């Protein structure tokens, strides 16, 4: 690498400034040790985001890896998604990405484009990383600029978790693949008409307002034959499309069929903060791995249904629930690759990890653990096969840089609608102008 002396100095100064700025804001970035090898022992760092169950299972798998690879020690750390993403970005900026890091689909372009992720190609060639059992279209989601920079850790898709008891009570038939958005809205109307009450005496609504979630908008959009992005610098939809989606949601909110503004505004990562988790709504849009958190919280009557279609056309798709990559500056890339291979391909590790990151990408492992699955775990596995049988399109290319900010902007712009500060059309116009600036 040939960096001019001036350029290097400037970067250092810039980093220094960024560090001190971060310090002033009491952010805990900038440090975060990478690997070290004291006394002949190799220490790897491995980070991920997720719930306690994931932490428990992952640590167990890592312990097994350490047993099988004496001389390698793995220092693990975990956090909630938002804190994790911010910390990782600061680490990446300092050239200090952990040896092995769990990544989101939306981060791939940003990290790979700046050279913070290791090219995994050589390790796949020499057999350290085995991908023969992977689905090819899923494997491609970890490719940036024809370089494999990450591997999928799980395969997931979206759906609606719903309370089957309440559905039955309202006389709504069990949702089947191919049900439409009108069916969905009707279900909401029937359930709301029951006049149920939430725990603190507040009205129980049929549905959770989906207008705040860009993921569900993407499904809706694909059902209409469009997509979120049509290129690195361009959206694949117009203000008219977004206005139509938000008008649909807003109308249901005014009818009090979907959750009300202040409950919708609380939607975040945590299940128990969602209207459904707080027993204020009968359905919630979610990914299939977080769905597993609902039955323990709300009871066995909770089921999982496919995303409604637009006149039979499904918009949902299989996406890597998360990917795993190796830091470009890792001091022990070989051992890091071994750890990744172990997590993805070792049958014992596969059994320990289960479906916490959704169905394993290694299809042999997926098949073998599917036999032992029970309850919601089994339901997710069957659900994916049912959705695949109905037919879904291939996943889109990894989203462009700036997408992370737009996902947040989407929620914020819709909040202006539910608090009745802006019309759906005006909020959509604001989102599009923000998108233009982010993708520039």
Per rule CB under 8 A, count of chain residues that contact other proteins: 45
Q: Report the distance separating Cα 159 and Cα 269, nearest Å.
A: 16
Q: Does 423 bind other proteins (CB under 8 A)?
A: no
Nearer to other proteins, 87 or 222 (CB): 87
Stretch binding other proteins (CB under 8 A), from 39-47, 292-300, 307-315, 414-422: 414-422
Beta bridge partners of 305: 160
Out of 9, 17, 53, 174, the residue judged to bind other proteins by CB under 8 A = 17
Per-residue x/- mask for other proteins, residues 50 to 89, rule CB under 8 A? --------------------------------x---x--x
Cβ burial of 178 (10 Å; 0-12, 13-18, 19+) is: middle
Nearer to other proteins, 331 or 405 (CB): 405
Q: Does 425 bind other proteins (CB under 8 A)?
A: no
Q: How many CB atoms lie within 10 A of CB 412?
A: 13
Beta bridge partners of 143: 148
Stretch binding other proteins (CB under 8 A), from 188-196, 291-299, 305-313, 408-416: 408-416
Q: Report the distance separating Cα 125 and Cα 229, nearest Å.
A: 32
Kindly state the smallest distance separating residue 362's Cβ from other proteins, in Å.
31
| DSSP-derived 3-state class of residue 266 | coil
Stretch binding other proteins (CB under 8 A), from 110-118, 145-153, 156-164, 222-230: 110-118
Q: Report the distance separating Cα 135 and Cα 342, nearest Å.
A: 18
Out of 22, 64, 194, 364, the residue judged to bind other proteins by CB under 8 A = 22
Residues 6+ apart with CB under 8 A from 22: 29, 30, 90
Of 204-263, binders to other proteins (CB under 8 A) are: 261-262
Nearer to other proteins, 97 or 292 (CB): 97
Strands (E), 89-213: 100-103, 143-144, 147-148, 151-152, 155-156, 158-163
Residues 6+ apart with CB under 8 A from 232: 109, 400, 401, 439
Q: Does 114 bind other proteins (CB under 8 A)?
A: yes
- The label of the residue with tokens 């952990």 reads 98
List interacting residues with other proteins (CB under 8 A).
7, 10-11, 13-14, 16-18, 20-22, 25, 27, 82, 86, 89-90, 92-93, 110-111, 113-114, 116, 200, 261-262, 265-266, 268, 401, 404-405, 408, 412, 415-416, 418-419, 421, 430, 433-434, 437-438
């Amino acid at each position: 690498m040939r960096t001019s002396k001036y350029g290097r100095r400037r970067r250092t100064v810039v980093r220094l400034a960024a560090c001190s700025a971060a310090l002033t804001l009491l952010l805990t970035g900038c440090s975060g040790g990478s690997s070290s090898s004291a006394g002949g022992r190799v220490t790897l760092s491995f980070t991920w985001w997720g719930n306690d169950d994931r932490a428990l299972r992952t640590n167990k798998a890592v312990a097994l890896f350490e047993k099988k690879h004496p001389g390698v020690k793995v220092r693990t750390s975990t956090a909630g998604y938002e804190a994790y993403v911010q910390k990782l970005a600061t680490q990446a900026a300092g050239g200090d990405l952990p040896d092995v890091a769990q990544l989101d689909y939306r981060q791939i372009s940003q990290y790979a484009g700046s050279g913070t992720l290791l090219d995994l190609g050589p390790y796949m060639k020499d057999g350290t990383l085995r991908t023969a059992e992977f689905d090819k279209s899923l494997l491609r989601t970890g490719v940036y600029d024809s370089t494999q920079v990450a591997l999928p850790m799980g395969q997931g898709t979206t759906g609606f978790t719903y309370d089957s008891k309440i559905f039955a009570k309202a006389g709504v038939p069990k949702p089947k693949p191919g049900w439409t958005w009108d069916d969905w809205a009707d279900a909401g109307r029937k359930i709301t008409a029951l006049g149920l009450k939430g725990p603190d005496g507040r009205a129980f609504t049929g549905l959770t307002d989906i207008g705040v979630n860009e993921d569900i908008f993407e499904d809706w959009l694909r059902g209409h034959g469009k997509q979120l992005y049509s290129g690195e610098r361009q959206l694949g939809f117009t203000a008219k499309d977004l206005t139509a989606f938000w008008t649909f949601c807003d109308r249901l909110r005014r009818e009090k069929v979907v959750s009300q503004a202040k409950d919708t505004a609380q939607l975040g990562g945590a299940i128990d903060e969602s209207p459904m988790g707080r027993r204020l709504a009968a359905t919630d849009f979610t990914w299939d791995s977080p769905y597993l958190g609902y039955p323990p919280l709300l009871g066995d009557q909770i089921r999982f249904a496919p995303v409604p279609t637009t006149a039979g056309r499904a918009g949902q798709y299989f996406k890597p629930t998360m990917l795993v990559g190796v830091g470009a500056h890792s001091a022990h890339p070989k051992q890091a690759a071994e750890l990744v291979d172990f997590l993805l391909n070792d049958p014992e590790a596969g059994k320990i990890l289960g479906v916490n990151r959704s169905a394993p990408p290694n299809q042999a492992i997926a098949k073998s653990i599917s036999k032992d699955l029970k309850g919601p775990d089994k339901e997710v596995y069957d659900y994916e096969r049912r959705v695949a049988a109905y037919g879904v399109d291939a996943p889109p290319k990894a989203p462009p840089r700036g997408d992370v900010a737009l996902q947040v902007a989407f929620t914020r712009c819709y909040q202006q609608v539910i608090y009745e500060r802006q019309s759906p059309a005006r909020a959509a116009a604001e989102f599009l102008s923000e998108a233009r600036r982010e993708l520039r």
